[in-house]
Amino acid sequence: MLYQGSLGNLLDMIDEIPWNYWIYSELFEELTNDTQCLALDVDTADLGEDGFTPLEVEKRGYQELISIQDLKGVLNNMRSIEGDVSILSAMDYFIKNDAYLN
């Protein structure tokens, strides 16, 4: 595991996290900077009972949130729009719709 803590802190260090890592988070009603998450390399993680979910994610009861690769795509898309959109709302939109903001 490379990171565990708040989503806001993770976003501050996004350029330090390899593109092939995945972010998992606690269950949430609304995505916020305080949402607790972890980022890890799923290719090297020990897997849980389903043979797919990383064991650490399973132990915490976390959910898959977004890959670093997709998150960087969301950031690039958001920067190209340059509207009044927060990274959290752009992430939330992507996660809920599996699509970038237009």
**Domain segments of the chain as ranges:** 3-97
Which pTM was predicted?
0.86
Long-range CB contact pairs, 33-36, < 8 A, 24+: 33/6, 33/7, 33/8, 33/88, 34/6, 34/7, 34/8, 35/6, 35/7, 36/4, 36/5, 36/6, 36/7
Residue 37, SS3 per DSSP: strand
| Tokens standing for residue 83 | 């509207």
Distance from C-alpha of 41 to C-alpha of 81, rounded to nearest angstrom? 30
- pLDDT digit of tens for each residue in the chain (102 aa)? 688 999 999 988 988 999 999 999 999 888 999 999 999 999 888 888 888 899 999 999 999 999 999 888 888 887 777 666 778 888 888 888 876 655
